[in-house]
Amino acid sequence: MDKLSIIVSVYNEEAGIRRFYEVCAEVLSSLSEKYSYEMIFVNDGSSDKSSEILREFSEEDRDHIRVIEFSKNFGHEAAMTAGLDYASGDILIFLDADLQHPPALIPEIARRLSEGADIVNMVRTKNKTAGLVKNVTSGGFYALINRMSDLKLEPNASDFFAIKKPVAEVLRKSYREKVRFLRGYVQNVGFVKETIAFEAPERVAGKSHYSIKKLFRFSIDTILCFSNMPLKLGIYAGLFTALLGIGLIVYTLLTRQGAPSGYATIIIVLCFMFSMLFIITGIIGEYIAILFSELKDRPIYIVKDIYGGGDREAAPQR
Ligand code: UDP
Ligand code: MG
């Protein structure tokens, strides 16, 4: 019998986490004839009552529930990575704790994986809570990254996805980047992929942790990590200014003008040139920042406590 590992990142979800647990546990026990299961809750340094509530779950169902407590907030990507590292199942399903990723779809996902797919990507058809700005910028982000890198990312892909053990093995061992985008790796490791469309409902309780500003930062990092194209902007800018210079030489020679008049023109051109220069320096700076954090090789997350999960030893799989 195949084992399902349900991986849930939790950050200040006290209001909705019990509802999530109930819905998810019901779906999983309805599958108990076909699959055994474990639920891994990664508490990403919540400052509310989430930790206490997770402890209750693990006491209610010690065999199925495992809780991994981080020492502080490391972010959603780190939390998913910890889930990946500690999962022991044959099928790993990543879900948000706010019921925006409907657990009702788990049977369908498990069926697809059992019938031959290695990866199932869940694609949002509609995100009711996200609002126009988030939806438009998210579309723009995917269009941009697909143009700029040779990788292809599914537009509207979400952090709701499922992978089989061999894929999990690859991600555990070979994708240990510090500036991370797990969803991007999942889509670019190859294997047999399928997609299922789903509609993201409203958050069950609480509010989103991702502000537009955070998403912007995240998008920039992701583009830089998946593409070297921005580094080439300097070459293009150099070619452009060289052509401009040659054009001006030819123009000056042909019109035989002496010292050209136009203080404003000089200032404008100067500002334009310097802005290009500074932007390119900034882009190089961003790459150096990423290089630096990879070089320091600090941990992606720090575990403070692990409990539940039956009698299995709590060592990560990697
Ligand atoms: N989350 C997390 N760490 C964080 C922020 C969020 O583990 O620093 C979790 C959060 O509890 C939720 C999931 O990541 O289960 C997605 O977060 P959220 O619903 O706020 O994002 P949105 O759905 O609005 O993109
Ligand atoms: Mg959400």
Q: Is 48 found in the same domain as 33?
A: yes
Q: Is 139 found in the same domain as 274?
A: no
Does the model's pTM come out above 0.95?
no
- pLDDT score of 12: 92
Q: Is 124 found in the same domain as 58?
A: yes
- Do the domain assignments include residue 121? yes
Give the rounded percent of residues in the chain with a pLDDT score beyond 90.
47
- Do the domain assignments include residue 10? yes
Q: Indicate if the pLDDT at residue 62 is higher than 70.
A: yes
CA-to-CA distance for 293 and 310, rounded, in angstroms? 36
Question: Alpha carbon of 119 to those of 27, 162, 164, 237: distances in Å?
Answer: 21, 6, 7, 41
- pLDDT score of 60: 87
- Do the domain assignments include residue 216? no
- pLDDT score of 216: 84
CA 225 distance to own-chain centroid? 12
- pLDDT score of 130: 62
* Number of residues that this document lists for the chain: 318
* Burial call 67-87: b when 16+ CB within 10 Å, e when fewer: bbbbeebbbbbbbbbbbbbbb
Q: Is 251 found in the same domain as 201?
A: no
**Which atom of ligand 1 lies at the shortest distance from residue 203's CA?**
19
How buried is 277 (Cβ within 10 angstroms: 0-12 exposed, 13-18 middle, 19+ buried)? middle
- Do the domain assignments include residue 51? yes
Q: Is 275 found in the same domain as 205?
A: no
Q: Indicate if the pLDDT at residue 311 is higher than 60.
A: no
- pLDDT score of 315: 62
Pocket of ligand 1 contains residue 135 by CB under 6 Å = no
Reference 103, options 14, 170, 37; nearest CA is 37
- Do the domain assignments include residue 14? yes
Look at ligand 1, atom 18, and give the residue with the nearest C-alpha.
208
Q: Where are the alpha helices (DSSP H) in the chain?
A: 17-30, 50-60, 76-86, 106-114, 131-148, 165-174, 182-186, 212-226, 229-255, 263-296
Taking a 5 Å cut-off on Cβ, the residues next to ion ligand 2 are 96, 98, 100
Pocket of ligand 1 contains residue 77 by CB under 6 Å = no
Q: Is 177 found in the same domain as 69?
A: yes
CATH code assigned at 127 = 3.90.550.10
Sign, Cα dihedral of 79, 217, 103, 11: positive
Look at ligand 1, atom 2, and give the residue with the nearest C-alpha.
76
- The number of the ligand nearest the C-alpha atom of 50 reads 1
Look at ligand 1, atom 23, and give the residue with the nearest C-alpha.
208
- Do the domain assignments include residue 218? no
- pLDDT score of 129: 60
CA 258 to centroid of ligand 1, rounded, Å: 64
Pocket of ligand 1 contains residue 16 by CB under 6 Å = no
Residue 294's pLDDT band, with cuts at 50, 70 and 90, is very high
What mean pLDDT is predicted for residues 130-150? 78
- pLDDT score of 260: 64
- Do the domain assignments include residue 57? yes
- pLDDT score of 258: 64
Domain ranges, residue 37: 3-209+300-311
Least confident of 7-21, 250-264, 294-308: 250-264
Q: Which one is predicted more confidently, 205 or 79?
A: 79
Domains identified in the chain, total number: 2
What pLDDT, in 10s, does the model give residues 147-206? Answer: 888 778 888 888 899 999 999 999 999 999 999 889 889 988 989 999 998 888 887 777
- pLDDT score of 86: 92
- pLDDT score of 39: 94
Give the rounded percent of residues in the chain with a pLDDT score beyond 70.
94
Q: Is 32 found in the same domain as 18?
A: yes
- pLDDT score of 259: 64
Q: Is 284 found in the same domain as 190?
A: no
Q: What is the mean pLDDT of the chain?
A: 87
Element (H, E) at 197: strand 193-200
- Which of 126, 209, 210, 214 for a ligand 1 pocket mutation test, highest count of atoms within 8 Å of Cβ? 209
Q: Is 289 found in the same domain as 190?
A: no
